[in-house]
């Protein structure tokens, strides 16, 4: 079954709000979402690490593999894994929490994500998968009294909480937050090679959740869709659900190449093109508002 008609953002809104109402919506967020909070993009993070170690910084237009290899070079230069994590923490957070608090109401995407997670009779999201290392979403939610289960290693224990936040690529908390680093940080090519594979526990967790829920992808580039860490999972889910429903909706701020859109549709992932990235928070709030009227 073709779901191309759902690329219309109004029609997509009906499906997304219905899934929110039924409790079957999950969120995937990428570097674009964290950048909205003043954190570096993946490219900027790798370059900051290289600069810290006195290595030549990268120029634009690098592939995912090239970025992984550039991060591996930093890791080799540092030598000690715990020291590498501390340097990563240092370059990831160039601000104090006090400074973040002063600007927190400017982060519209953070506010709209929190609205989707808010407990309500119109339904709410209870699981978030973030490919980012940072702790800002969980910190923000904890300020408003949300109870959280932060999962960065497997196996994990289910808890009776408001929101479970999964960090498949690792977790680097802000230094002012009393959380531990994850055991693994998936930033370089070597770590990514270890993580990939149909039998890896993280693959299974992603697969099970995508099979049983509708996903909304936010702050992720089209490169992530084609990345070997996500694409095989989506393919597996498509084989399972067939033409019964979409796998998820991928929000873009600005138009994308038609070839990219068609590739997504072939895997039952619906590209939603908004006029700009700034429109994404408003669209997420519309999902909440429409669900409340159902």
Give the pLDDT score at 161. 95
Instruction: Calculate the alpha carbon distances from 193 to 65, 81, 107, 196 in Å.
Output: 11, 18, 34, 5
Greatest extent of the chain over all pairs of C-alpha atoms, in Å: 57
Assess contact for 255 and 277: CB atoms under 8 A.
no
CATH number for the segment(s) 4-39+103-292: 3.40.50.1220
Q: Give tens-digit pLDDT for 206-237.
A: 999 999 999 999 998 888 888 877 888 999 99
Question: Would you call 13 helix, strand, or coil by DSSP?
Answer: helix
Give the count of beta carbons closer than 10 Å to the beta carbon of residue 273: 15
Residues with pLDDT less than 70, the chain: 1, 196-198
**Which is it for the CA torsion 176, 182, 186, 187, positive or negative?**
positive
Give the pLDDT score at 8. 94
Gap between the Cα atoms of 52 and 32, Å rounded = 23
Burial (CB < 10 A; 0-12, 13-18, 19+), residue 163, is: buried
Gap between the Cα atoms of 252 and 14, Å rounded = 18
Instruction: Calculate the alpha carbon distances from 245 to 5, 28, 124, 269 in Å.
Output: 13, 18, 20, 10
- Going from N- to C-terminal start, the domains of the chain cover 4-39+103-292, 41-92
Q: Which two tokens stand for residue 192?
A: 């990514």
């Amino acid at each position: 079954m073709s779901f191309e008609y759902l690329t219309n953002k109004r029609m997509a809104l009906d499906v997304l709000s219905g899934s929110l109402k039924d409790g079957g919506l999950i969120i995937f967020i990428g570097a674009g979402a964290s950048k909205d909070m003043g954190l570096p993009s993946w490219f900027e993070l790798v370059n900051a690490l290289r600069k810290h170690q006195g290595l030549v910084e990268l120029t634009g237009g690098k592939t995912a593999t090239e970025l992984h290899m550039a991060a591996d070079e930093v890791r080799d230069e540092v030598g000690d894994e715990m020291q590498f994590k501390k340097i990563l923490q240092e370059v990831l957070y160039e601000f104090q929490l006090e400074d973040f608090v002063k600007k927190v109401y400017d982060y519209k995407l953070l506010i709209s994500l929190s609205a989707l997670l808010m407990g309500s009779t119109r339904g709410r999201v209870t699981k978030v998968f973030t490919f980012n290392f940072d702790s800002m979403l969980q910190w923000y939610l904890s300020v408003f009294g949300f109870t959280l289960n932060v999962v960065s290693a497997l196996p994990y224990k289910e808890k009776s909480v408001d929101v479970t936040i999964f960090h498949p690529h690792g977790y680097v908390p802000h230094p002012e937050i009393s959380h531990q680093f994850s055991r693994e940080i998936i930033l370089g090519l070597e770590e990514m090679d270890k993580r990939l594979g149909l039998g890896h526990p993280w693959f299974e967790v992603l697969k099970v959740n995508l099979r049983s829920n509708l996903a909304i992808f936010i702050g992720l580039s089209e490169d992530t869709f084609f990345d070997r860490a996500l694409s095989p999972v989506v393919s597996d889910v498509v084989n399972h659900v067939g033409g019964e429903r979409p796998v998820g909706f991928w929000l873009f701020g600005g138009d994308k190449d038609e070839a990219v859109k068609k590739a997504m549709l072939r895997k039952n992932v619906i590209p939603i093109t908004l006029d700009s990235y700034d429109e994404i928070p408003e669209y997420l709030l519309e999902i909440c508002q429409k669900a409340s009227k159902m």
